[in-house]
């Protein structure tokens, strides 16, 4: 009887030891599984993007999270209206929209006046007037330290497609990079993989043509491929050139901060302060 009790006690001790070992190993096994899962998802994402296809996993997650993002943005706006009064908040919103419309109309009129001295004036002006501006609310800011991308509350159901140009009343903001059913990702000009053809303008005269490229988050834009004989100075305005047919001409991009020689390529380059601040914008406009 005593031997049987002792054997039973030893069996219980072994089981308790196995459980302690399993409890010690559980965090490491979980961490290993999550590591392999993240690496696998990263490889699949890179393959899909390399073939210019949207990531179905990310698209699904964004679709599921859209009601939460949109509801959070609306909830924040609701608290503001309760605090300051609904009528005053609505009036402020209407005034902001009116100021944005008048600012863009003023920019279009200035660009049209400068274009009247050239042969392409009528065509360029008609193209600008033919564009439809679709408003969208910003509901997500950059979550990565590498990519400069914002999320807007308008997607494929709202007629948005990849490659559409996005701007604010101040100037060019970027392009739509990914589209989900109810939201879209906008790659800002500051993103290191962004680029757009641009002109340098001073007193209505073109001083040079180059390519504006993103320098990364919180860094100035880079205007590259300027010729040595181009007269570029700090304070010159940078606008879109319209070359390539994707971005309309004469949309403000920024202001030259400094100019330097690119001796390796016998060219010039300039640092540009962007006109539009994507991470401060509450509403944007998609050119459709």
Instruction: List the chain domain ranges.
Output: 68-189+279-287, 195-276
Q: What is the mean pLDDT of residues 132-153?
A: 80
Query: What pLDDT was estimated at residue 129?
Result: 47
- The average pLDDT across 16-42 equals 69
Q: Does domain 68-189+279-287 have CATH number 2.40.10.340?
A: yes
Those residues with Cβ within 8 angstroms of residue 175's Cβ, 6 or more apart along the chain or in another chain:
163, 164, 165, 166, 186, 187, 194, 246
Residue 239, pLDDT above cutoff 50: yes
Q: What is the pLDDT of residues 77-88, one digit of tens each?
A: 555 555 555 677
For the chain, give the mean pLDDT.
Answer: 78
> How buried is residue 31: exposed, middle or buried, by Cβ count under 10 Å (0-12/13-18/19+)?
exposed
Distances (CA, A) of 166 to 33, 115, 202: 40, 23, 25
| pLDDT of the residue at 77 | 58
Contact assessment for residue 152 and residue 137, using Cβ atoms and an 8 Å cutoff: yes
pLDDT of residue 121: 39
What pLDDT does 237 receive?
A: 96
Other CB atoms within a 10 A radius of the CB of residue 264 amount to 6
Rounded to two decimals, the pTM is: 0.61
List the beta bridge partners of residue 95.
none
Contacts 24+ apart (CB under 8 A), 64-70: 66/153, 66/180, 66/181, 66/182, 66/183, 69/139, 69/140, 69/151, 69/153, 69/183, 70/139, 70/153, 70/182
The C-alpha angle 279, 58, 158, rounded to 5 degrees, equals 65
Look at residue 143 in the predicted model and tell me its pLDDT. 62
Instruction: Let me know if the fold of 68-189+279-287 is the same as that of 195-276.
Output: yes
Q: Is the per-residue pLDDT at 45 higher than 70?
A: no
For the segment 210-232, the average pLDDT, to the nearest whole number, is 87
Q: Residue 257 — pLDDT band, cuts 50, 70, 90?
A: very high
Rounded CA separation 258/11 (Å): 79
Structure-model confidence comparison of residues 3 and 98, the more confident one: 98
- Superfamily of 195-276 according to CATH: Rod shape-determining protein MreC, domain 2 (2.40.10.350)
pLDDT of residue 81: 52
Residue-wise pLDDT tens digits, 158-209: 999 999 999 888 889 999 999 999 999 999 998 888 889 999 999 989 999 9
């Amino acid at each position: 009887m005593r031997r049987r009790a002792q054997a039973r006690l030893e069996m219980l001790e072994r089981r308790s030891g196995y459980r302690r070992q399993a409890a010690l190993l559980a965090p490491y096994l979980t961490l290993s599984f999550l590591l392999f899962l993240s690496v696998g998802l990263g490889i699949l994402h890179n393959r899909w993007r390399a073939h210019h296809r949207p990531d179905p996993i990310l698209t699904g997650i964004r679709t599921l999270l859209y009601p939460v993002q949109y509801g959070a943005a609306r909830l924040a706006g609701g608290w503001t209206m309760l605090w300051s009064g609904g009528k005053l908040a609505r009036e402020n919103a209407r005034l902001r929209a009116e100021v944005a419309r008048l600012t863009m109309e003023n920019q279009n009129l200035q660009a049209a006046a400068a274009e009247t001295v050239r042969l392409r004036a009528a065509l360029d002006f008609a193209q600008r007037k033919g564009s439809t501006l679709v408003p969208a609310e910003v509901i997500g800011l950059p979550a990565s330290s590498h990519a400069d991308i914002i999320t807007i509350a308008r997607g494929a159901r709202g007629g948005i497609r990849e490659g559409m140009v996005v701007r604010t009343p101040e100037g060019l903001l970027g392009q739509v990079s990914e589209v989900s059913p109810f939201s879209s990702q906008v790659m800002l000009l500051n993103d290191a993989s962004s680029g757009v053809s641009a002109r340098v303008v001073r007193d209505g005269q073109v001083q040079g043509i180059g390519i504006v490229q993103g320098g990364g988050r919180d860094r100035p834009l880079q205007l590259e491929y300027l010729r040595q004989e181009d007269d570029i100075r700090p304070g010159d305005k940078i606008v879109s050139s319209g070359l390539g047919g994707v971005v309309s001409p004469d949309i403000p991009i920024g202001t030259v901060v400094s100019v330097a020689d690119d001796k390796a390529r016998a060219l010039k380059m300039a640092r540009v302060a962007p006109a539009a601040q994507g991470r401060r914008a509450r509403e944007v406009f998609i050119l459709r």
